[in-house]
Structures are given as structure tokens and as C-alpha cells.
Amino acid sequence: MLFDVRGRRRHVIRVVYAILALLMGASLFLVVGPFNIANLIGGGTTSETAKVLVERAERTEEKLLREPDNPALLLSLTRSRVAAGNAQTEIDPQTGAPLVDATALESFDKATEAWNRYLTQTEHPNPSGAQLMATTFFTLAQTSSGIEAIDESLANAARAQRIAAEAQPSVGTLTNLAIYEYFNGNFAGGNKAGKEAEAKAPASQVKQIEEQLAEYRQRGKSWENEKKRVAKLEKEQGKESLENPFGGFGGGSGLGG
């Protein structure tokens, strides 16, 4: 990871793009970031798709006024808000990074609120919904401002992925969990999930999984080390002078896995 700290007023932190590429999904396992969902609701432009999804979410919210504790409605609202946020998010053509503007961020924040409400109303969270939110939290980590916000989103991503992996343990869910745990700083948890993934994988794939996860584990350790340097610079220069090392909210300097 490289840092550009030149200038008294422009102490900008940048992460080398090779690491971002790994985070953005250059592995066999992670599927992170916005996708084109227009075909799921009958085609149309991205803006039209987002409008339809926002309207769908608003109709669900009206139903929730009558049934505020209905878990099915809360899960449906979560999905609609995430889909709207994805439709409102563009991808930097040079870096592949999600460019989350204020509109998309609002949709993702509302999805988070709906998801948290949903978790209080069910003892058995939907695993596909948990996987969806893990992806969303990872996107938020990529576009948050400040180390604390990034760490919170990474922790939420690992927590949601853990729900998915416990409900439907598979090579995919467990390797995703291992990767999120490594970036969350939980290396023991990541190693455990990795071993469980290897146990479920065909013998021909075990070595490849080991190599992939070893690479992510190293990236997680690098992130932990650089995070300390970021925190030190934030303290010395002021948080307002630093970009998110995963790309920066709403900017063109971006990150998806």
C-alpha cells in the first residue's frame, strides 16, 4: 500500500490498485458491488430502474405502517433498498470502483435500517438476504469516510456473511466469510472458515483455495498495519484531510469482491 502525503493541506491516503482489484472481486469467490438489474424488472435505463425500485420500496414502507413488525415485509424492503442503491451506483471505468453518490448512499442506509429491524423480528434470518447485506456493507466500507466508519462496515459485512455461512455452509459462503473476517481483523475466524471451506471442496480445488485465502489473509494483515498509519495521520492532520483508502465517498478515485 502506498501513501501520498505531500503538501500541508493535502495529506491524501491512497491504497495501491492491485489490492483494490482483489477486493473488487478478482477472486473465484466474492461477488461484490453493483450490478445491472434492469432486466429483472423488464428493462429500461438505470435511472428508470432505480425509480421503479424506490417506488416499490415506498409501497412496502406503507404496508409496514400497518404491520411494523412483519419480518417478510422488512426483508422485502431491505432487498428493494439495496437494489435501488445498486441501480443508483455507477462504476469507475478505470478502477472498477463503485461510485456511490448521495442518492445511492441514502438507499443503502435505508436498507441497513430495514435489515437491522428485520434481525430483531426473526430468529432465523434469511441466508440470501444476509449474503446481500454482506455485499452491501462491503460496498459501504469501500465508500465510507474515516477509519471508524470503514471498520464498522467491514464488521457488519463479516457479521452478515456469518449468518449466511452458518445457515448454508458451502465453499462459496465460507470462503467469502474467511475473506471478510480477514479484513475485519478476525484472523482466527477467517482461518476457521477457510478450513471449513476446504473440507467441503473437491480435492482438486483445495490447494487453489488455500492459495487464494493465504493471499487475502496477507492483504488483511497489510490493511491492519496501514490502518494504524492512517489513524496516526488522521490524528496529526485532521480527519477532514484524508480520503477513504478504499476510494472515497462519491468521488472518482475509487473500489466491489
Q: What is the CATH number of the domain that holds 63?
A: 1.25.40
Q: Is 106 helix (H, G, I), strand (E, B) or coil?
A: helix
In this prediction, residues 40-64 reach a mean pLDDT of: 80
DSSP-based helix, strand, coil % in the chain, nearest 5:
65, 5, 30
Cβ count within 10 A of residue 52:
19
pLDDT at 234: 64
Percentage with pLDDT > 90 across the chain: 52
Q: Answer with the residue of higher pLDDT: 82 or 26.
A: 82
For every residue of 117-155, DSSP letters joined together read: HHHHH-SS--HHHHHHHHHHHHHHHHH-SSHHHHHHHHH
Give dist(CA 138, CA 7) in Å, integer. Answer: 31
Cell of 136: 452491501
Q: Is the dihedral of CA 43, 45, 46, 50 positive or negative?
A: negative
Assigned domain for 253 exists: no
Assigned domain for 11 exists: yes
Assigned domain for 248 exists: no
pLDDT at 239: 55
- What pTM was computed for the model? 0.77
Contacts of 27 (CB under 8 A, 6+ apart): 175, 179, 212, 216, 257
Assigned domain for 136 exists: yes
Give dist(CA 26, CA 219) in Å, integer. Answer: 13
Assigned domain for 255 exists: no
Mean pLDDT: which of 19-33, 137-151, 171-185, 223-237 is highest?
171-185
Assigned domain for 197 exists: yes
Res 127 pLDDT > 80 = yes
Which helix (H) or strand (E) segment is 234 a member of? helix 203-237
Cell of 39: 432486466
Q: Answer with the residue of higher pLDDT: 36 or 247.
A: 247
Assigned domain for 48 exists: yes
Contact 20, 247 (CB under 8 A): yes
Least confident of 25-29, 161-165, 189-193, 210-214: 25-29
Q: Domain containing 171: what range?
A: 3-241
Domain count, the chain: 1
Q: Answer with the residue of higher pLDDT: 171 or 32.
A: 171
**Minimal CA–CA distance to 54: which of 101, 110, 99, 100?**
110
Q: Answer with the residue of higher pLDDT: 173 or 6.
A: 173
Assigned domain for 215 exists: yes
Mean pLDDT: which of 42-51, 86-95, 127-136 is highest?
127-136
Contacts of 54 (CB under 8 A, 6+ apart): 80, 84, 107
Band (103; pLDDT cuts 50, 70, 90): very high
Q: Answer with the residue of higher pLDDT: 80 or 249.
A: 80
